[in-house]
Structure 1
Amino acid sequence: MISLEDIEKISADTLKLKEIYRTTLQTVEKNKTQMFSISEAARKEVDFQRKQLADIKGKLIEVIANVDYLENKTQLGKQSLAAASKAFSTEDMQDLYGEVAFMLDKLQYARQKEEHLRQQRDELELSLRRLEGLLEQSENMTLAIGSVATYLSSQFNKITQQVEFTQKCQSIGEHVIMAHEEERKRISRNLHDTVAQGLAAALMQLRICKLALADGDLEGTAHAIDDTSDNIKNCLSDTRQVIFDMRPMALDDKGLAFAIHQLCTTHRDKQTLHIDYSLNGQEYPLPKHVEIMIYRTVQESLSNILHHSGQTKGSIDINYAANALNIVIKDEGKGFDLQEKADLAAEEGDSRHHFGLDFMKEGARSAGAELSISSSPGKGTTVRIKVPRQDWA
């Protein structure tokens, strides 16, 4: 059986999971921002290097054109020098040779500049390709992190709702355990106050009977036997009532409708409640756990009428329709504000003021039924239970 410590551990683990989820989401959002900054820096560097590359390519085109020009001019100078060697004087040849040498120097410088620009271009193209690859990866990573962040953010509300539901289940679970303990105490108290005391009285009457019989007092013996018989009958009646409260045998023997009718009759016989009972349609069997849930819900509803409505009258309408079993429990008591009761439970940090209603709803949900409660101050309370008919096999 699950203990309060187990429930508290489950709740603590769930809250821890929520905190881990929140921290993860914050970390992802932070990494998303950092990754975006990295992408922006990489994009700026790519733009800068592209501009540099364009400038270098422009200069390289100019240098290549200049090299071609100087090569042609140098070639022409060499040809002129070869032709003039036969006709020109030594002085003229020296001037022409100087011009050709100057052109060769300019050509060599231009070629060195071309080689340097080509090397710069190749290095910059290689760097740019690497940087563009990194930029693409960072952009893809940014998109991926953004998608993860969006997904986590969209799921966070669901996680929060799940945590709240778990906390609610924890509260209900705690109250279920406490209710079980209270029920045990009630049964123990009832057995002590009724059966145990009745048996003690019967034992005392038997001793009186024994003494009277030993003295030959037949009249006293008969009187003691009658008292003992009455005490035993009362004990038997009290024992049957305790058994009925724990689980009505009529539910197993004669079905749900009869068990509910017997519950109403018991209240009437005790003069605690007068419930108008009506049954419509042909009763059909339901799974035992569903019948128990319905019976306990009706039992809880009648208890609420008795202790909270300020009335001693109510009604139960049971309708076995073709598609569903419908049960309506009404009273014309003082009623209450559902939202106010829920707010009061939230303010006090527990569900003591709302537990009975939540317990009934959770019980119905676990059995595949629908339960609704409507009430307002001064206008009574109505509980509706709907159990859709289905293949229970």
Structure 2
Amino acid sequence: MLEDKNLDKIINEMVDTVENSKDEIYSISESAREEYQNLSEQLKYLKQEVTDNIESSEQLEVKEKLSRQRLAEVSNNFNKFTEEQIKEVYEQTHKLQSELKMLHQREKILRQKRDDIERRLKSLEKTIEKASSLVSKVSVVLNYLNEDFRQIGELIQDANEKQAFGLKIIEAQEEERRRLSREIHDGPAQMLANILLRSELIDKTFKQRGREEALIEMKSVRSMVRSSLYEVRRIIYDLRPMALDDLGLVPTIKKYVENMAEYNQMNITFTPLSLWDRLDAKYEVALFRLIQEAVQNAIKHAEASKIDVKLEKSSNTILVIIKDDGKGFDVKQRKENSFGLIGMKERLEMLNGSIDIHSKVGQGTRIEIQVPLLE
């Protein structure tokens, strides 16, 4: 359990780190998009300014050209113009040339800004593209951590449970051997020993007291033999009900439920919901053990007063429902040492079956088992 908690802690830390990284990358991506939008607006205005500047330059170039022609005319006919006229033409030409030079300089600056913004936009496009790609990849990693790593944790936990279940099986086998040894020793073995002693007494009684007394002793011995036979059959039934091989699943479950109801002084009902033919032995044994385990769990742990067992067979599926009115439990809360349920799941895995447990505290428990019938 400590290893499971440590693994969960590591996975949670990894998930938090990746989520924070994803948020940071997304923040960078959004900042880049915002800057890209602003620069795109600036580029739009810059392009318009460049266009306006070119138009102004072209118009000014025409004026400057006319002014230079006028200046050349004045210079060639210097004597025809006054000093004031010459000065005015010269200043006008100089002014136009200065304005044109300023416009050319401004156009150069605007073009540099435009080119710089276009380079920055291309760089931002790559940044946005990389950030989007990274967000997608991080999302995949996050999904992997959240799902696949969780599954790995569950698999490890299941493996630990199965290991503990295997050890529990070994312990249960040893405990079963001890129980059988005690039962045989205290039951049939003791009775057989008594029968042997009483058989010797019959011989003495016949010789000493006569035929009538010997017959009384023989009846007593017959009763002891019958009790011993009952005990032997009970032990065999606990190991594997012979009725399961002779009569089939439904009669065996019916007899088992009747015996459990009588022994535990409680209401246990069994209802077969369809016509039944004999099944393959592996299905009959597994279904009997599953019902046996579920009923025993309801008696031992649920403190139920009423248990209903229903069994239904369709063309390709067997459905078992075991319902009790016991104290119930929280199915989300994993119970320690719930080896009964683990054993049921192990049996169902071998049959490709499934089990659904519906229970709430104080509202009883309903177990649904489905087993597919395979050729």
Scaled by the length of structure 1, the TM-score of the pair is: 0.62
Q: The residue matched to 1:73 in structure 2 has which SS?
A: helix
CA contact (8 A) 1:293 1:367 kept: no
- C-alpha offsets along residues 62-92 of structure 1, whole Å, 9 cap, x if unaligned? 344223211111113313433x26xx37xx6
* Correspondence 1:119 to 2:108: yes
Quote the Cα distance in structure 2 between the aligned partners of 1:12 and 1:253. Answer: 53
Between the aligned partners of 2:180 and 2:60, the Cα distance in structure 1 is 117
Deviation at 1:14? 6.1
Question: Alpha-carbon deviation of 1:24?
Answer: 1.4
Is the counterpart of residue 256 in structure 1 residue 240 in structure 2? no
The aligned residue for residue 18 of structure 2 is 24
Aligned with 1:297 (options 275, 284, 290): 290
Indicate conservation of the 8 Å contact 1:172/1:359, yes or no.
Answer: no
Partner of 2:336: 352
AA in 1 matched with 2:300: H
Per-residue deviation at 1:120? 1.9
Does the alignment pair 1:335 with 2:319?
no
| One-letter amino acid matched to 1:335 | G
Question: Contact (CA 8 Å) 1:78, 1:100: kept in 2 or not?
Answer: no
Distance 1:74 1:168, change over 3 A: same
Structure 1 residues 308 and 56 mapped into 2: Cα distance closer, same or farther (>3 Å)?
Answer: closer
1:2-60: per-residue Cα shift (whole Å, max 9, x none)?
xxxxx976775566445423421221112111222233234334444544554455444
Name structure 1 gaps, 5 residues minimum: 1-6, 210-217, 220-229
Which SS does the other structure have where 1:387 is aligned?
strand
**Number of the residue aligned with 2:121:** 132
Residue number in structure 1 paired with 2:200: none
2:26–2:135 contact (8 Å) kept in structure 1? yes
Instruction: Note the 1:135-150 alignment, pairs <5 A.
Output: 135-141=124-130
User: How far does residue 187 in structure 1 lie from its aligned partner after superposition?
Assistant: 1.9
TM-aligned CA distance change 1:257 to 1:200, over 3 Å:
closer
1:297 Cα deviation after fit: 2.0
Change beyond 3 A, Cα 1:281–1:149? same
Counterpart amino acid of 1:294?
L
> C-alpha separation between the residues in 2 aligned to 1:103 and 1:304?
111
* More divergent stretch after superposition (355-364 vs 12-21): 355-364
Alignment equivalent of 2:277, drawn from 274, 280, 283 = 283
Question: Do the aligned partners of 2:355 and 2:369 also contact (CA within 8 Å) in 1?
Answer: yes
Contact 1:372 1:383 in 2 (8 A): yes
SS of the residue 2:70 aligns to: helix
Contact 2:67 2:93 in 1 (8 A): no
SS at match of 2:353: coil
What amino acid is aligned across from residue 256 of structure 1 in structure 2? L
Secondary structure of the residue aligned to 1:342 is: coil
Size of the alignment, in residue pairs? 345
- The change in CA–CA distance for 1:298 and 1:273 in structure 2 (over 3 A counts) is farther
Deviation track 1:70-125 (CA, whole Å, cap 9, x = no partner) reads: 1111113313433x26xx37xx6988776666566445534533432332233222
Tell me what 1:72 maps to. 66
Matched, 1:368 2:353: yes
Alignment CA distance shift 1:65-1:370 (3 Å) = same
SS in 1 for 2:335: coil
Q: Identity over the aligned pairs, expressed in percent?
A: 17
The Cα of 1:248 is off from its aligned counterpart by 5.6
Aligned-pair CA distance for 1:168:
7.1
Distance between the aligned counterparts of 1:67 and 1:58, measured in 2?
14
Q: Using a 3 Å threshold, how does the CA distance of structure 1 residues 384 and 22 change in structure 2: closer, same or farther?
A: same
SS of corresponding position for 2:326: coil
Give me the whole-angstrom Cα distance separating, in 2, the residues matched to 1:249 and 1:11.
Answer: 47
Q: Does 1:387 align with 2:370?
A: yes
Indicate if the aligned counterparts of 2:269 and 2:307 stay in contact, CA closer than 8 A: yes
Q: What is the Cα-based RMSD across aligned positions, in Å?
A: 5.3
Select which of 308, 318, 328 maps to 1:325: 318
Query: Alignment partner of 2:370: what SS?
Result: strand
Q: 1:42 to 1:361 in 2, by over 3 A?
A: same
Aligned partner letter, 1:257: V
Match in the other structure for 2:213: none
2: CA distance, partners of 1:324 / 1:158? 31
Task: Kindly indicate whether the alpha-carbon contact (under 8 Å) linking 1:11 and 1:170 is maintained by their aligned counterparts in 2.
Answer: no
CA displacement 1:202-241 (0-9 Å, x = unmatched): 9x99xxx9xxxxxxxx99xxxxxxxxxx99x979x77993
Does the 8 A contact of 1:281 with 1:321 survive in 2? no
Query: Residues 105, 300 of structure 1: CA spacing in aligned structure 2 closer, same or farther, 3 A cutoff?
Result: same
The residue type equivalent to 1:31 in the other structure is I
1:189 maps onto 2:182 in alignment: no
Which whole-Å CA distance do the structure 2 matches of 1:126 and 1:253 have between them? Answer: 94
Corresponding residue of 2:211: none
1:295-338 Cα shifts (integer Å, max 9, x gaps): 2221112313443465798664444445643444466xx621x3
Judged with a 3 Å threshold, the aligned counterparts in structure 2 of structure 1 residues 153 and 138 are, in CA distance, closer, same or farther, namely same
